[in-house]
Amino acid sequence: MSKQNKLLELPNLANVDLLVAMSPENFAYVSESYILTVELVRPRHAYAILIKDDDPILLVCSIEKYHAQEESWINDQRYYVEFADNPIEELAKIIKNKKLKNNKIGMDLGYLPQKDFQILSNLLPQTEIIDTTDIVASMRSVKSEDEVKHTESAAKITHSAVIEAMENSRLGETEKIMADRITTGIINKGSIGSLFTVFASGPRTKLAHAQPTDRKPKESEIIRFDVGGTFKSWKSDFARTYSTGKPTNTQKEYYKNLKEVQEETINFVRPGITAEDVFLKCKSSFEERNMPFFMPQIGHSFGIELHEYPMLRPGEKTVIKKGMVFNVEPAGFDKDGMCYHLEDLLVVTDEGSRILTNGLAPKEIPIIGQPFDNFN
């Protein structure tokens, strides 16, 4: 079944007459149109409306009219004028005109502002509104071949930019200079912009999401970074740990162990196990090496959204299926309190998984300014 036919079945799966996808991620997925302002200008709502036994409708701000016409597969497109029209009221008019049989609609209630929910409820007093955020997210969790290609391309571009940037980095440079080199590389290689840059050295590595500063890393310190770019509606998310040179025995040993933990965890991924099983495998790999384990999750599904469903966490009983895409990202602290982090993207295959980055991290901690040629 094609993706579009699957989308048309969503109202039946959710047991509603009509389903509205409006969060930036769900709108982009259902409409197949990446409209930047849906994410950046929150009052400028856009709705992809799927109707049981009827043609879908797209409702967007008139400013985005030609963008929607160029990209979306939905032919019935309607527009509201910003400030002159209230988008939630325009949505209510469409729903009223459809004369729904059971007066039951689904929406992304995890995203819809409370004030707009109240307006919609007042305009449709006989209509039951239920949350269908997770139903759309569940469909998004299994990627098509084209979707895997998009995420793989983004992952490989980001990884390549990191390797080039760190080969060209030197002691005496600041965190910000090194981080900017990565960001520039991601954009030059094909990203339309930076999604986020976490970059820290030495004692700052313990900060979960540190921003790069003018601090100059010192010799025998580690550098930890987690970076991502935007590729229209798709994203990248990639993490590595480097040495500034002359790594200590503690740093060498901890890095080696973390690398083994990540590889064991990735090799464990296969169809039929649960997301929780992957978490527990990673946790046990830490414990077998007497490494303290602190993570509430060790990875996440990935695609249009940075953290998609399902998460690799305790209690998550979702069964892993072929076509799911995950970031596996173990992290931990050595005895000196420095934090290490590795993160790679994979797609689940018939019998296991396939790495979507350019390869896993090297077995020995890489050093800034040195050539890198050992993909695993």
Under a CB-based contact definition with an 8 Å cutoff, are residues 238 and 226 in contact?
yes
Under a CB-based contact definition with an 8 Å cutoff, are residues 130 and 290 in contact?
no
> What token pair was written down for 45?
């709502």
| Phi, psi of 231, deg, nearest 5 | -130, 75
In order of 24, 35, 46, the CA distances from 40 in angstroms are: 9, 9, 12
> What token pair was written down for 343?
């993160």
Q: What is the pLDDT of residue 1?
A: 73
In the chain, domain spans: 3-140, 145-355
Write out the DSSP string of 110-160. Answer: TTS-HHHHHHHHHHSTT-EEEE-HHHHHHHHTBPPHHHHHHHHHHHHHHHH
Same fold, 3-140 and 145-355: no
Compute the Cα dihedral for 63, 133, 13, 102 and give only its sign: negative
Q: For the CA atoms of 200, 201, 205, 210, what is the dihedral angle to 10 degrees?
A: -20
Q: What is the pLDDT of residue 373?
A: 61
CA distance 302 to 213: 28
Q: What is the pLDDT of residue 372?
A: 72
* Helices then strands, each counted (H, E), the chain: 12, 17
> What token pair was written down for 32?
């197949």
DSSP-derived secondary structure letter, 374: -
Tell me which amino acid residue 232 is.
K
Pick among 3.40.50.1470, 3.90.230.10, 3.40.250.10, 3.20.20.70: CATH of 145-355: 3.90.230.10
Q: What is the pLDDT of residue 2?
A: 87
pLDDT tens-digit readout, 156-191: 999 999 999 999 999 999 999 999 999 999 999 999
Mean pLDDT by 10 residues, the chain (376 residues): 91 97 96 94 96 97 97 98 98 95 95 97 97 94 95 98 97 98 97 96 97 98 98 95 98 98 98 98 98 97 94 97 98 97 98 97 96 60
Q: What is the pLDDT of residue 152?
A: 98
Tell me which amino acid residue 80 is.
Y
For the domain covering 3-140, report its CATH number: 3.40.350.10
Peptide bond into 212 cis (omega under 30): no
End-to-end CA distance of the chain: 36
pLDDT tens-digit readout, 281-301: 999 999 999 999 999 999 999
pTM: 0.93
CA 327 to chain centre: 9
CA distance 205 to 241: 10
